[in-house]
Structure 1
Amino acid sequence: MGLLLGLIAAPILALLSAGGTRRAIEEGFHSDPSDAAFQPLGIGLLGALILGVVVVSSEFTSTGEDAPGARQLQATLAAMPRRGRLVAAKAAALSLVVAVQGAVTAVATLALSRMVLGDLVPSPSPGRAAAAVLYWVLMGLLAYALTLIFRNGIVTLTVLIVNISVVSVSYLLTKVTPLAAYLPDIVGAHMFLNEVGDVRIAPVTAGLVMIAWVGALLALGAWLFGRRAA
């Protein structure tokens, strides 16, 4: 589900919102029209978040009705007892899958946006497209790290989806303090979007901060995973 949602949601949104986006650009609501082609990628990010959660939460599900106390994690650890290596292997596999998913989705979404909006949006630069894909990978790893920490995929996924698609608590906090612009979901968007709230953060700086967030949370998640019983 996460793979399919990530692939189709953004292109569909680009097509469905083309009329409103065109009017917004023509009426001057976009100070930087180039962002209009990239904004639909935000909804496709849900696919990466689902993948990041499921890669961990599946380990804590029961293996079957005949053994309700057993979980998939016990079988996984029997095959790979070194927990640090297991965490790293899952992170690498997740990164590869989300990178491919993000690249395919970004190319399709940007091409469709260019087709339906025409000269209203400039041709997207490869650097910004690559930054958007990197943002997907980092957000997928963020979801992975949070699920490692909390060991509850439903709660983690619900919070992430609500924050991304319904009401962004991080964005609301930027109205209280500009420091909230450096929270991971907000700062990462600065990697490829020029209009993200009132605070301006350089793309390279945003990327470094995002990587630091993900690295710290992954380290914490791996440490907790290594200490907990199966």
Structure 2
Amino acid sequence: MSAVRAELRKLLGLPTAWVGLLLGLLAAPALVILNAGATRRAIADGIVSDVSDLGLQNLGIGVLGAMILGVVTVSSEYTATGEDSPGARQLTTTLTAVPRRTRLLAAKAAALSLVVAVQGTLTAIATLALTRQMHGTAVPSPEPVRVVAAVLYWTMIGLLAYAITLIARNGIITLTLLIVNSAVVSFSYLLTKVTPLAAYLPDIVGAHMFLRGIDVPVRITPVTAGVVMTAWVAGLLAVAGYLFHRRDA
């Protein structure tokens, strides 16, 4: 627990982490307000396939915050400690304090999961309450289990970003690819037009944990989505852990 507390303090002391925290907390509620008019028209015209998805769909933009947190949890360790020692990195000091690498990785993952889970919970509550305020009974309140699944999805995305950054050891490249795929053009979604197997890529399959009206060529139940998403997270964390143990600091 001392290692987890230390990693929590370290993570919350990073300016970039606060960018991720604020983005995750504010982006989804802001999207509800900005899209309120268009959403009302879509509901009135019957364009929305499942109105119970509306409040939860907006949480997708906020997951960028979880990605940033997952990336900076690792990338901060590979940043030079100062101009006086350009070759030195934070990781050297961290491993001196916590020489057992498995314990270090577990503490980082636990601290990240806690922060992202709290962030996701607060964002979900605020976003769904604002959606209800904007649209009233036209948008039914989602089942609590779907809200829990959405928060779990956020946490898993944060851990995926964490694992991928550990593997790549480059936060800029990892974060750029994740943001482009999530906010600009979803390569995973484009691949579903080529093969239905692409629907089982983590960013697509994970959304099935709490959304119902996703336009993909296969139907994936929430339980199946949760199992597949867990397998992705566990597999990438295992690869990242193996490489972290094999590489020099």
Query: 1:185: how far off?
Result: 0.4
Match of 1:84 in 2: 102
Match of 1:112 in 2: 130
| Secondary structure class of the residue paired with 1:68 | strand
| Secondary structure class of the residue paired with 2:81 | coil
Structure 2 residue 248 is the aligned partner of structure 1 residue 220: no
TM-score, reference length from structure 2: 0.91
What is the CA–CA distance in structure 2 between the aligned matches of 1:25 and 1:138, rounded to whole Å? 31
What is the CA–CA distance in structure 2 between the aligned matches of 1:33 and 1:166, rounded to whole Å? 24
What is the CA–CA distance in structure 1 between the aligned matches of 2:167 and 2:42, rounded to whole Å? 41
Match of 1:64 in 2: 82
Structure 2 residue 211 is the aligned partner of structure 1 residue 211: no
Match of 2:70 in 1: 52
Match of 2:31 in 1: 13
What is the CA–CA distance in structure 2 between the aligned matches of 1:125 and 1:107, rounded to whole Å? 13
CA contact (8 A) 1:171 1:197 kept: no
| Secondary structure class of the residue paired with 1:63 | strand
Moved beyond 4 Å, runs of 4+: none
What RMSD, in angstroms, separates the aligned Cα atoms of the two structures? 0.6
Match of 1:39 in 2: 57
TM-score, reference length from structure 1: 0.99
**CA offset digits 1:33-89 (Å, max 9, x no partner):** 111111110010000000000000000000000100000000000000111111111
Query: 1:29: how far off?
Result: 1.2
What is the CA–CA distance in structure 1 between the aligned matches of 2:79 and 2:142, rounded to whole Å? 42
* Pairing 1:144-163 to 2, within 5 Å after superposition: 144-163=162-181
Letter in 1 for 2:220: I
- Alignment gaps of 5+ in structure 2: 1-18
* Pairing 1:72-221 to 2, within 5 Å after superposition: 72-198=90-216, 199-221=218-240
Q: How many residues of Structure 1 are paired with residues of Structure 2 in the alignment?
A: 230
Percent of residue pairs identical: 71
- Alignment gaps of 5+ in structure 1: none
Query: 1:20: how far off?
Result: 0.8
What is the CA–CA distance in structure 2 between the aligned matches of 1:32 and 1:26, rounded to whole Å? 13
What is the CA–CA distance in structure 1 between the aligned matches of 2:238 and 2:56, rounded to whole Å? 31
Query: 1:154: how far off?
Result: 0.4
Query: 1:124: how far off?
Result: 1.6
What is the CA–CA distance in structure 2 between the aligned matches of 1:25 and 1:75, rounded to whole Å? 55
